[in-house]
Structure 1
Amino acid sequence: MTQEQFSKYSFLLDRTARTVKQYAQRKFKLGDFDITVDQWLIMKNLSENELLSQAELAQLVFKDQPTLTRIIDILSKKGYVARKPHPQDRRSFQLILTDAGKNKVKELKPQVASIREKAWENLDESDFEEFKRILNTIYNNLS
């Protein structure tokens, strides 16, 4: 592959990722979800994994510690996330969804699924498999 081709494909990947996120952000705002896409990502991961530390959650959602702390602070103020002292490490906390947070995730799951489905329109199963293979190859090349 030439440098020019590589540049084009990198641009397409970046443009697509940015467009997907912008589309989701618009839908979240228009839908009056009371949370952002990044906040949803945190809440969704907490709903799927009980008692995560901030470090574990940061790895799962690919956020640095300061950014994650800001998001957790906002979700805490909204009453969706709580910090509880870590039983083995007094210096850290475990994060949990509150009942309000669990209800918010349950309420938004179908709406978020429909947002995602828009991006996947007109693609069939073989498209998904090829896409997954390519993304995993790129990820593994860089890991």
Structure 2
Amino acid sequence: MFESPLILRNVVHAMRRPERGLCARGAGPHIQSAWRRLSPGGGYSPAARVVSQRMLDLGLTGSMWRVLVYLQREDGRSQADLAKELEVSRASLGQMIDRLERSGHVRRRAHPDDRRIWRVFLTEKSREVMPSVGEKAQALHQQTFGRLAEDEHRAFIATLMTLRDSLR
């Protein structure tokens, strides 16, 4: 299942910090609810569909590229940590990691001090594709938000932050 919080999180942070782009930290754990409420029909947002389609060009599904982006921020995270951050169940994340491992994008390693914990690491294949992921996200950002005047842009960000804060 593709969920959209990463898109909004990264759009918000790319707008506030364009120099960090796709890899900036998220806007908050509850933004997905607000994003879905703002989406027509409460389902996938138009932005989510566009980003997913662009990432498919790289051979990545919506769930796959999201995991890679979080690992790019902090490689070697535990599966439990990733599941919490991505707001998915551990079982769902396990399936995502299985697909990424089969495709050669990640590898799992047992934690050196606790064999119950599996850490997930990017492979060279992932590192090679991440610049293209960032470029596609930046192009979408420019296409979407490049039309806003600076004061409109600031007002939009302020509105999103208000919505996020109201869900805490």
TM range (shorter): 0.7 to 0.9
Structure 2 CA distance for partners of 1:20 and 1:89, relative to 1, 3 Å: same
The partner residue of 1:79 within 104, 109, 116 is 104
Task: Note the alpha carbon deviations across 1:86-105, whole angstroms, 9 max, x for none.
Answer: 12321111111011111111
Structure 1 residues not aligned, in runs of 5+? 1-8
The correspondence of residues 1-143 of structure 1 with structure 2, limited to 5 A, is 13-15=38-40, 18-29=45-56, 32-143=57-168
Secondary structure, counterpart of 1:96 in structure 2: strand
Moved over 3 A (4+): 9-12
TM-score computed with the length of structure 1 as normaliser: 0.79
Q: Which has the higher contact order (CA 8 A, sep 6+)?
A: 2
Number of residues paired by the alignment? 133
Q: Which has the higher helix share?
A: 1
Contact 2:107 2:120 in 1 (8 A): yes
Contact 2:105 2:126 in 1 (8 A): yes
Query: What is the identity percentage for the equivalent residue pairs of Structure 1 and Structure 2?
Result: 23
Root mean square deviation, CA, Å: 2.4
Amino acid in the other structure paired with 2:143: K
TM-score computed with the length of structure 2 as normaliser: 0.69
Structure 2 CA distance for partners of 1:10 and 1:102, relative to 1, 3 Å: closer
Larger CA Rg, structure 1 vs 2 = 1
Structure 2 residues not aligned, in runs of 5+? 1-33
Task: Tell me what 1:4 maps to.
Answer: none
